[in-house]
Amino acid sequence: MFLKEYFGTIYKSIKSLLVGMKVTGYYFTHLDEIKTEEYPDNRATLKMFDRFRGEVVMPHDDNNEHRCTGCQACEIACPNGTIKIITKQEILEDGKKKKRIDAFVYHLDLCTMCNLCVVACPSDAIVMAQNFEHSVYDKKQLKKILNQPDSKLMQGVE
Amino acid sequence: MKILLTYSFSSLATYIHHLLAELITNSLLLQVTEMVILGVSLIAFLVVLCFFLGYMERKVAAFMEIRLGPNRVGPKGSMQIVADTLKLLLKEGLTPDSADKFLFNLAPVIMVIGSMMVIAPIAFAKDFQLYDINIGVLYVSAVSSLGVIGILMAGWSSNNKYSLLGAMRSGAQIVSYELSVGLSLISIVVLSGSLSLGDIVRSQENGWWIIKGHIPVIISFVIFIIASTAEINRAPFDMAEAEQELTGGFHTEYAGMKFAMFLLSEYINLFVVSAVAATLFLGGWMPFHIGGLDGFNHIMDFIPSSVWFFSKTFLIIFIIMQFRWTFPRLRVDQLLTLEWKYLLPISMVNVILVTVMAIMGWHF
Amino acid sequence: MNTEELKSSISAILPSVIYDETGEFLNVNIASEELYPLINELRSNSEFDFDYLFCLTCIDWKDHLMMVYHLLSKTHQHTIVLKAKISNRENAEIETVCNIWRTAELLEREVFDLFGVKFINHPDLRRLFLSDDWNGYPLRKDYVDENMISL
Amino acid sequence: MRGLIEDDYVTEEGEFVINIGPQHPSTHGVLHLKVWLDGETVKKVQPHLGFIHRSIEKMSESLSYRNFIFATSRMDYLAAHINNEACALTVEKGLQLEVPDRAKYIRTILAELTRLQSHLLWWGCTGLDLGAVTPFFYAFREREFIMEIMEETCGARLTQNFMVPGGVMYDIHPNFQKRTKEVLTQIKSKFQEYDNIMTGNVIFENRTKGVGLLSKEDAISYGVTGPTARASGVSCDIRKLIPYSAYDQVQFDEILGTGGDCYARYMIRMHEMKQSVFIIEQLIDNIPEGEFQAKTKNVIKLPKGEFYQRVETPRGELGVFIVSDGAASPYRIKYRSPGFSNLSALPLMAKGGKIGDLVAIMSTIDLVIPDIDR
Amino acid sequence: MEINKSMEGPLTFPGQVHETADGGILVTKLDDVINWARSNSLWPLVFGTSCCAIEMMSTAGAKHDWSRFGFEVARATPRQADLIIVAGTIVMKMAPVLKRLYDQMPEPKYVIAMGACTISGGPFFYNTYSVVKGVDHVIPVDVYIPGCPPRPEALLHSMITLQEKIKNEQYFKKKIEDVR
């Protein structure tokens, strides 16, 4: 009885080990199961999903115009102070003073890509870009000003 | 060219010997020069072998883990291990302040020397053996356990608790598994009637022991593979390193070149163990022969003996590597249970079986 | 037991409790000194059998601290919230419950760490999250840290 | 290093104190365990926490009810969805807001996908902890598919921040249902492989069976929840006891184990993966049409009072306790994290075992340290 | 490599030794070989504190597979590691530990700050009392990769960026100058 149990254990153990080795052996002999994406080589074909959140950008059209009115809704919506909007007073043609953005400062180093600013924006001025290659040697490069130099507010956006 | 065509290393050795004898007349000097050449070429061979084994291990692991493995450094990533070695050599080789500095620096050297010494009696090809010592098997089993001294030394001198635990585990492990290794070696010694590795290979002229000796030899082969995997501290028996438990085990404090030496000795050990298994059970360099079928045997002889030896060795290396990348690690007490409750009793009974078989001539 | 039964049973043990049923669970307000006899009864009496303390925390109400114990009975599936008011903010003390529910040991250390409530008879009352030389109790409302940048 | 130096380094004759962590491969992060050893046998374990204490509770006190949710993804990052869901549910409870059915269904499916990926990662890491490297890669292969679904619909892989008070942030992506079904078929076909390489393995069985015993009474007393408690026979699945979201619409079993050892905990999680697949299968084709988000005010203000919501994360019961004083940000938030209570039972479980057992226990109670430290 | 071109910002690195007339071809070649070895054999320390560690694991996983670059030999002991990927928040209590780990590593050693928390405290920059606001207050950082957490490809990108940096190091040249 003891011997039966003893050899039974050995038989079961060896069988279980061989079953395990069969799995690794299968993958060793079936190299087409490898689905590795070779990142830097596939950069041309690598496309992120549309909703993927890489960084906040402010789209500008051909006339160097953006849609940001400087309402600071995003700044309030941001949970961790990533966005800082510096505004200036601009005198319009009809003599009225109007608030316009001077600099849309975006701290990529603080950003958690939570999308709350994009949701909060009433005029769709900012969107999430799919770019993710942000590595830098210097932290200072991560502080970005999103509005381009000399850009203006698009007509009809209030 | 002629030398290469005959695939005989002995003629190469003779050629070099004659060449040197013409240059150097003093016989003692000649002997020393030849030894130095031999030593240097052996070390060079082992280093290249370790490069290859390291590359092989990473590729085997990668393919089993459905990934590609190194493929960007050199063609197909083959220079990866060269880069690793160069980097390790150039890394700051620090010694911890509170370590026993002499022993700390000595330990990796002992490990490497211990594992390199075992190479001596192994026949790599027909008539190619450094030293066919007449107690080859005894020598192999004696010298291969030198490594544990290095591990104990490394673990103790590092002044690190993880290292110490790893070294103690390794001590217990190697002392116990030495028994099973020895017993399974003995079963072949009994069958072939010689302790010399050269004689053992020649005794398999009409068939390898694993075929001739059928079940008992297969059992001792399996026991040898398991026990020697444990003896060279490879997973699933890598108790001395046990990364998840002891971070690095005995080599936790080692960096740079000294760590590279541990890696070197690990791979040499792997090669040695597989080479011994191939020699004893699979006929070493002996081609696949079946007793009585002279025509078949003759065809098999066309494949060079070194190819036979290395293909067998690498088959066993592959199996040991597959163990590592498949199985979970044993616990330290289960490790000893396995040895004392299973391997040792079975191999003891098995030795008796083999002896009876040898006396009665039941093998082929 | 339903809420009414719980109320009457608890009042039988401790008449001075104040109930509050505005929330999801039955809230039982007591003073910190009365905690231990009541809570011992709640655990050991098979009628209540509150064997599972699923939340233990503290609230800083500026003028007093309040320990909150969420208790659940696995057998009867009833829940109460026990609130013990600690009036003395500077030297806040309350009896430990970690010999009743073992989970309280770490939870009480957390409260000690972040609120500075000392638990009498706690076996190992040390700071849990913060280093031992930390000054102050950060989750108190009057905690000031000059390194902290406010939004 | 003052946090590390303790006065109780005093040891008895033959005792051996080692520090496992804060940086150690088996602690899954920055847990520090001080272990008293007698040879290889563990005599006493003392967890030291706080190496990732990020003061999320304090931070949330100054954030609005819309914003505090994002930080909870960083708490138990393997169950970011479920953490976010718990917060959103608590706020909804305070507002007495009825969430549209569509949002409920999406939440449940995403939560179960989260559970699936969390368990897959746990399975791989258990293998890794026990010394088998390969299962880790098999688990991550399947996990990547789930990550792709998350990315396509939620926009991020790990910390999605997809739950908002009142529903979900966006409607599901058009490919969502198709992809989810593909993943389910893929995972179902791999369960046998997982069993072959790990569950049936004799070394694995020996490493886990009878190791790290936790009795039912201890489990309740230590407040242990989740698969760890269910392995000891404690019925504690919040999805069954107090159904939230769409869990009252689906059928599934609460897996209860016996024994309370590492193997039981392992098996519970393996079965739970199958249950998650089953739950998603019931929901995926029946997502009702309609709004995905209820209308909420721009600035959410909770009425004065206290709100408590319990949800089931892959690790156990997460409780969100919000004390509101009527302002736009919570007065006090307490997260009752499952890992914290589960960890408190570790010294009990590990006592008397070997170091290897300690590693096995840690991996089978599935610790996520930021969840413990918050 | 193409990656380098797409990198914005100046390509001067802190600690760069400026070109001198002497040094010679041999030294330059040796430097090239050493930099080749070092940049292709970055063994990371197993060090993850929070969410980013999971993405680090994903990078090691089969789909992204950092072993293609030879990074897969993750060492548990700092003595054998070349690179710390600081994956996750560093809090006040952890900072001395991280410093010690960094000190235990033998030269040359590199640091990648992965994720918003390590770069600047990230989501825990405001209103928290226990988070170190940027790991560069504790140890020197070579490459920053923002994101919360950065996706595996982004981590690979940062490691390639680090490789580019190592390839411009001048080990022997510096040694020779030190001797002079």
* D104-158: pLDDT as tens digits: 888 888 888 899 999 999 998 888 888 888 888 888 888 888 888 888 888 888 8
C-alpha distances (whole Å) from D61 to each of C139, C140, D38, D56 are: 10, 11, 46, 9
For residues D290 and D276, what is the distance between their CA atoms, to the nearest angstrom?
25
The 10s digit of each residue's pLDDT in E7-33 is 444 444 444 444 544 555 666 677 788
> What string of DSSP letters covers A23-74?
HHHHHHH-GGG-----GGGGTTT----TT---EEE----TTSEE------HH
CA distance D301 to chain E (A): 21
Residue B277 C-alpha, separation from nearest chain D C-alpha, in angstroms: 24
Search chain D and give the residue with CA nearest B323.
D132
A149 and A96: one domain?
yes
Q: What is the pLDDT at residue E6? A: 43
- Average pLDDT rounded to a whole number, residues A15-32: 88
pLDDT in tens, D252-307: 888 888 888 889 889 988 898 888 898 888 888 888 888 888 888 888 888 888 88
> Cis peptide leading into E149, omega within 30 of 0?
yes
Instruction: Confirm whether A146 is domain-assigned.
Output: yes
Q: Confidence class of residue A134 from pLDDT cuts 50, 70 and 90?
A: confident
Torsion angle, CA of D101/D107/D108/D109, rounded to 10 degrees?
110
The 10s digit of each residue's pLDDT in B99-130 is 888 888 888 888 888 888 888 888 777 777 77
Q: Which residue of C has its CA nearest to E93?
A: C131
The pair phi, psi for residue D150, each rounded to 5°, is -60, -45
| Cβ separation A24–D197 shorter than 8 A | yes
Are residues A71 and A12 both part of a single domain?
no
β-pairing, B123-125 with D305-313? unpaired
The total number of residues written for chain B in this structure: 364
Give the C-alpha separation, E108 to E175, whole Å.
14
Burial of B35 (0-12, 13-18, 19+ CB in 10 A): exposed
Is D95 a residue whose pLDDT tops 60? yes
Instruction: Please tell me which chains touch A, using 3 or more CB pairs under 8 Å as the contact test.
Output: B, D, E
Cβ of B326 within 8 Å of Cβ of A23? The answer is: yes
In this structure, the strands spanning C79-86 and C65-72 are antiparallel
Sign of the dihedral defined by the CA atoms of residues E88, E90, E94, E98, in that order: positive
User: Could you tell me the residue range of the domain that residue A134 belongs to?
Assistant: 55-153
Domain assignment present for A142: yes
Is A137 found in the same domain as A62?
Answer: yes
The rounded Cα D107 to chain-centroid distance in angstroms is: 16
pLDDT value at residue A158: 67
The Cα E110–Cα E5 span in angstroms is 22
Could you give the CA distance from residue B185 to residue B221 in angstroms, rounded to a whole number?
Answer: 9
d(CA E125, CA E137): 14
B20-39 residue pLDDT tens: 888 877 778 888 888 888 88
**CA–CA gap between residue E52 and residue E72 (Å, rounded):** 17
Q: Do residues A129 and A65 share a domain?
A: yes
- Closest listed residue to residue E148, CA positions, set E176, E114, E179, E125: E114
pTM of the full predicted structure? 0.89
Residues A64 and A135 in one domain: yes
Q: A12 with A88, same domain? A: no
Out of B325, B329, B332, whose CB is closest to D130?
B329
Provide the 10 A C-beta neighbour count for residue D209.
13
| Cβ-Cβ contacts under 8 Å, D127 against chain B | 328
Helix (H) or strand (E) holding D33: strand D32-38
Q: Are residues A69 and A20 in the same domain?
A: no
- Measured CA to CA, the distance from residue D322 to residue D86 in angstroms comes to 11
Most D-contacting residue of E75, E90, E128 (CB-CB within 10 A), to test interface: E128
**Of B354, E4, D235, E149, which is closest to residue C77 (Cα–Cα)?**
D235
- In chain A, the number of structural domains is 2
Buried/exposed B37-53: b ≥16 CB within 10 Å, e otherwise: eeeeeeeeebeebbbeb
Sign of CA dihedral D158, D164, D169, D172: positive
Is D62 near chain C, with CB under 8 Å?
A: yes
Chain D: closest CA distance from residue C23 (Å): 6
Give B165-193 pLDDT, tens digit per residue: 888 888 888 888 888 888 888 888 888 88
Encode C17-54: b = buried (16+ Cβ within 10 Å), e = exposed: beeeeeeebbbbebbbebbbebbebbbeeeebbbbbbb
Q: Which residue of B has its CA nearest to A39?
A: B72
Pairing of strands C118-120, C93-95: parallel
pLDDT higher than 60, residue A104 = yes
State pLDDT tens for residues C73-117: 888 888 888 888 888 888 888 888 888 888 888 888 888 888 888
Q: Are A74 and A13 within one domain?
A: no
- The shortest CB-CB distance from A116 to any of D66, D202, D203 is to D66
Alpha helices (H) along D295-374 = 338-344, 346-350, 355-364, 369-373
E chain contacts of residue B71, beta-carbon cutoff 8 Å: 68
Instruction: In whole angstroms, give the CA distance from residue B335 to residue B327.
Output: 14
pLDDT, mean of residues B315-340: 87
**Taking CB atoms and an 8 Å cutoff, what residues of chain D touch E94?**
22, 30, 51-52
Residue reference for tokens 């746990």: D122
| C-alpha radius of gyration, chain E, whole number | 17
**How far apart are the CA of D173 and the nearest CA of chain A, in angstroms?**
9
Q: Average of pLDDT values for A76-83? A: 85
Return the pLDDT at E26.
Answer: 65
**Residue pair E143/E162 in contact by the 8 Å Cβ criterion:** yes
CATH number of the domain bearing residue A143: 3.30.70.3270
Q: How confident is the model at residue D6 (pLDDT cuts 50, 70, 90)?
A: very low
pLDDT for residue E151 = 86
Contact of chains C and B by CB distance (3 or more pairs under 8 angstroms): no
More confident residue, D86 or B145: D86
Q: Is residue A137 part of a domain?
A: yes
B330: closest CA of chain D, how far (Å): 6
C151 vs E: CB within 8 A: yes
Indicate the helix (H) or strand (E) that contains B184.
helix B161-192
> Is A41 a member of any domain?
no
Q: In the prediction, which pLDDT does D10 show? A: 53
With tokens 């479920």, the residue in question is: D82
Percent of chain D with pLDDT strictly greater than 90 = 0
C-alpha–C-alpha distance, residues C137 and C143, integer Å: 7
Any chain D CB within 8 A of the CB of A22?
yes
Query: What is the total residue count of chain E?
Result: 180
Asked if residue D4 lies in contact with residue C134, where contact means CB atoms within 8 angstroms, the answer is: no
Residue D7 has pLDDT above 70, yes or no: no
Sign for the pseudo-dihedral over CA of B177, B180, B183, B188: negative
Contact check, Cβ <8 Å, D121/E51: no
Residue A142 and residue A76 in one domain: yes
Instruction: Kindly state the tokens that stand for D340.
Output: 């914290």
Chain E contacts of D369, Cβ < 8 Å?
49-50
What is the per-residue pLDDT for D1? 33
- Choose, out of E73, E92, E93, the residue to mutate when testing the contact with D (most D CBs < 10 Å): E93
Kindly state whether residues A26 and A95 are assigned to the same domain. Answer: no
Residue A64 lies in a domain: yes
> In chain D, which residue's Cα lies nearest the Cα of C130?
D50
For E87-117, letters b (16+ CB in 10 Å) and e give bbbbbbbbbebbeebbebbbebbbbbbbbbb
CA B302 – CA B309 distance, rounded (Å): 14
State yes or no: pLDDT of D97 exceeds 60: yes
Residue E18's pLDDT is: 47
Residue D56 has pLDDT above 60, yes or no: yes
Low-confidence ranges of chain E (pLDDT < 50): 1-18, 20-21
Cβ–Cβ gap E41/B248 under 8 Å: no
Chains D and C are in contact, defined as 3 or more C-beta pairs closer than 8 angstroms: yes
Q: Which of E5, E52, E144, E160 to mutate to test the interface with A (most CBs of A within 10 A)?
A: E144
| A38 in any annotated domain | no
Q: What is the DSSP string of B234-288?
A: -TTS-TTT-HHHHTTGGGTT--HHHHHHHHHHHHHHHHHHHHHHHHHHS-TT---
Residue C107: in which H helix or E strand, if any? Answer: helix C104-115
Q: Over chain A, what is the mean pLDDT? A: 84
Q: Quote the CA–CA distance of D106 and D113 in Å, as a whole number.
A: 11
Span B251-272, average pLDDT = 87
| Domain identity same for A61 and A29 | no
Which of B71, B87, B243 is nearest residue E68 as measured by Cβ atoms? B71
Is position A140 within any domain? yes
Domain-located, residue A83 = yes
Query: Where does residue D158 fall: left (phi above 0), alpha (psi -120 to 50 degrees), or beta otherwise?
Result: alpha
* Pair A128, A77 in one domain: yes
- Minimum-distance CB partner of B92 among E38, E77, E106: E106
